[in-house]
A and B are shown apart, each in its own frame.
Chain A
Amino acid sequence: MPNGSREKILQRIREALAVKAPARHLAGAVTGLSDHRPQDWLPPVPSSVAERISLFEKNSLDLKTEVRCCADASAVAIELAALARENAWKSIGSHHFVLGNEAVSALGLPVVFTDQPYETADLERCDAGISGCDCLVAQTGGLLVTSASAGGRVLSVLPPHHVVIASAAQLVGDLADAFAVLRKNHGSPPAFASFITGPSRTGDIERILVLGAHGPKKLTVLLVQA
């Protein structure tokens, strides 16, 4: 039974679809649906880079993502060292990526590299995961990671603090723009991609917000301006 009941289900579907359903949602107030991209109805995104950065920062603040702006690559090393000091990191997980290589090795901490074979238990003991990303999304205050851009599927979610190093040039407007980046970077969307929009959270107990339900309690974005 490699496919299970594939043909049976497709047969049922084709029989069911012989009768056409009314497109009730198109009746009434909607005009010119086809003249717009559907995402145009979502929260507006400004077009200038400076305004997009400030929208990203505002959304991050609401999500409790910390954004630290860095003037250049050397400023990244300084900020990362400051984070390591403030949070008393003893070991970190990371992977090899242009924006982070120098700053990560300058920390002088033991590093579990996840872009080479590694033990889950070793990564689980790390105090922070430091990664890159494919892009940042102004509209949502989120970021998009893939295995290639963020050192695999686990680094960005297992350690209790996730630090993302990204350049302002990686900031895009909305999710559709982010999908375009996926296609540009990988040819076609890869087997794993995830939008991360703020640190892990839950409201399952009395609808009260608690950060760090299963994923990182803290999310920091080091935004390189140059």
Chain B
Amino acid sequence: MSAESLQFHRDADRLTHDLQHRAWIQKALGGYYIKRDEQKAKYTDWQQARSSAAAAKYEAVNHLDKYLVELSDKLAARGTKVFWAADGAEAAEYIASVARDAGVKRIIKSKTMTGEEIHLPQALEKAGLEVVESDLGEFIVQLRGEPPYHIVFPSMHLTRGEIDDTFQRKLGSAHADTPEELTMIARGVMRQKYCEADMGISGANFAVAETGHISITENEGNARLSTSLPKVLVSIVGIEKVVPKLDDLAVLLPMLATAGAAQNMTCYNTLLGGPRQPGETDGPTEFHVVLLDNRRTALLADAEQRDALHCIRCGACLNVCPIFKNIGGHSYGTTYQGPIGSVITPHLRGLQSWKHLSFSSSLCGACAETCPVKIDLHHHLLQSRRNAIAQMPVWWEKPIFSGFAWFMRRPGLYRFAAPMLRLAAPLLHAIRGNDIDPLSMWTRTRDLPPAPPQSFKEYWRDKNAKR
């Protein structure tokens, strides 16, 4: 078992037994289910909308070279510097060099999961820069030194009391009772940071090839401020974020809002196509877009699972996943949690180290059903299981099955052994799940049905004898 797998099992075991934690997550998601269904009901046809959204992403992902070049050229035409990064190290190195050249000291960052994926904040801090998260949830988990719990709701596992504690400890703020008061404390801290920062970092939800824009979706306004106040702006964009046409956003933006946060439309959806232009009085004077591969091309090369690159990171599959709801976001040990994380992490970080995520699924299909861009998530989990086993077979599986086949082909032996097993049944029941039970891995959490009084063969003989 890989170290990642051991860690996963340990954490999942601990959190699954934490009933309070599970109840908290259930409660946090309860409101989402109701509002999401209300929003979906407003659609003329949600299923057709899903197909349309999937079609736009399919077109983009399957002509990725063409659309990336178009995007890059259009961005450059307005004075944006486009950098193509093969991996996280290249991206972080480039961003640090941009900061160095511009004499940057303080960075204000809005939410970017792609930045999390390549540990960008840590890399920049190592380069001696101050990096502050401006998204409220990200700010809270940053203060606590934790990774985000959920790709959309990073602090959903925390109560107001825990957040109050963190603020008092780290910010020296007064005790606060309500989410409103706590939010205002963060707002006050952040206002100053926006004005002081000389570099902003953002992610992107989409990138429009046709017009050369990145599109950023948010509710708080922190991305608007982080992308317009500092003099230098860097946006980090996974190469799969591209869509062909501006009109594609007419469908994708509302669907992202509905699937992700049960909203009609997210509060701010911002298109950025360049630094401050002639005639503009504000906005960054330098704008860099970093297009990041970081093994996305490896996933692209798997045609069977390629549609996982359609993902718009709405988090809907996490919200409905029975596994996520029980083991919680931190157990995954990945940047991307839930079903989509279980599908893409083995591609991004290595199949053998992360195959346990594919096996940790009930295969119920709730994820695939809820996905707004129709990614075939639960089948991809099955395919990953198959691929993992084909690559590295389990050594004892073959001898076990040949042994079983050998036994089943010998009726005499079978007739002799079956009653033995029936006789042994009380003993098996007595030790079931104990340390001395050789099958305890299986029987610890499962019932052992009582042995029938006779075998089918005996039953059949008796039945025909009575007639």
Which A residues fall within an 8 A CB radius of B?
Answer: 1, 3-6, 8-10, 12-17, 19-26, 29-30, 33, 36, 38-44, 59, 62-63, 114-118, 120-121, 124, 139-142, 147-148, 151-154, 157-158, 174-176, 179, 188-208, 210, 212-216
Contacts and interface: CB of A to CB of B under 8 A. Distances in A.
Interface string B265-282: 111111111111101111
Contact of B83 (A3, A124, A210): A3
Nearest to B287: A191
A19 B94 CA distance: 32
Contact of A38 (B246, B251, B280, B291): B251
Contacts of A24: 307, 374, 376
Contact of A21 (B49, B265, B307): B307
Contacts of B115: none
B254 A153 contact: no
A217 to B, nearest CB: 9
Q: Which of B53, B63, B301 gathers the greatest number of chain A CB atoms within 10 Å? A: B301
Interface string B214-243: 000001111011011100000000010000
A36 to B, nearest CB: 7
Interface of B: 28, 31-32, 42-56, 58, 61-65, 68-69, 72, 78, 82-86, 90, 94, 134-137, 140, 153-156, 158-160, 163, 179-180, 182-184, 186-187, 190-191, 195, 211, 213, 219-222, 224-225, 227-229, 239, 246-251, 253-254, 261, 264-277, 279-283, 291, 293, 297-298, 300-301, 303-304, 306-307, 373-374, 376
B43 A42 contact: yes
Contact of A158 (B154, B159, B225): B225
Nearest to B221: A215
A197 B58 contact: no
Contact of A114 (B183, B249, B282): B282
B250 A39 contact: yes
5 contacts: A42-B49, A202-B219, A210-B183, A213-B220, A214-B224
Contacts of A17: 62-65, 300
Contacts of B291: 9
B211 A38 contact: no
Nearest to A147: B280
A3 B82 CA distance: 6
Contact of B183 (A1, A15, A197, A202): A202
Contacts of B267: 196-201, 215
A42 B254 CA distance: 8
A116 B187 CA distance: 27
Q: Which of A10, A16, A39, A204 gathers the greatest number of chain B CB atoms within 10 Å? A: A204
A220 to B, nearest CB: 15
Contacts of B280: 147, 152-153, 191-192
A203 to B, nearest CB: 7
A136 B306 CA distance: 38
Contacts of B282: 114, 118, 120, 147, 152-154
Given A201-B220, A206-B179, A207-B28, A21 B306 contact: yes
Q: Which of A21, A25, A116 gathers the greatest number of chain B CB atoms within 10 Å? A: A25
A201 B291 CA distance: 29
B275 A191 contact: yes
Given A191-B277, A201-B220, A205-B182, A30 B160 contact: no
Contacts of B180: 210
A148 B163 CA distance: 40
Contact of A41 (B249, B251, B271): B251
A201 B262 CA distance: 14
B84 A179 contact: no
Q: Which of B190, B250, B266 gathers the greatest number of chain A CB atoms within 10 Å? A: B250
A9 to B, nearest CB: 5
A179 B85 contact: no
Q: Which of B180, B191, B271 gathers the greatest number of chain A CB atoms within 10 Å? A: B271
A22 B379 CA distance: 14
Given A38-B250, A210-B179, A214-B187, A9 B51 contact: no
Given A12-B293, A190-B273, A202-B136, A214 B221 contact: yes
Contacts of A120: 195, 229, 282
Contacts of B293: 5, 9, 12
Contacts of A213: 136, 183, 186-187, 219-222
Contacts of B163: 205
A194 B303 CA distance: 35
B86 A5 contact: yes
A21 B303 contact: yes
Nearest to B78: A191
- 3 closest residue pairs by CB, A with B: A215-B221, A38-B52, A25-B54
A22 B136 contact: no
A180 B62 CA distance: 27
Q: Which of A15, A29, A206 gathers the greatest number of chain B CB atoms within 10 Å? A: A206
Contact of B283 (A191, A198, A203): A191
Contacts of B303: 19-22
Contacts of B44: 40-44
Contacts of B68: 9-10, 13
A5 B276 CA distance: 27
B281 A8 contact: no
Contacts of A188: 211
Contact of A154 (B52, B83, B228, B246): B228
A176 B301 contact: no
Contacts of B179: 205-206, 208, 210
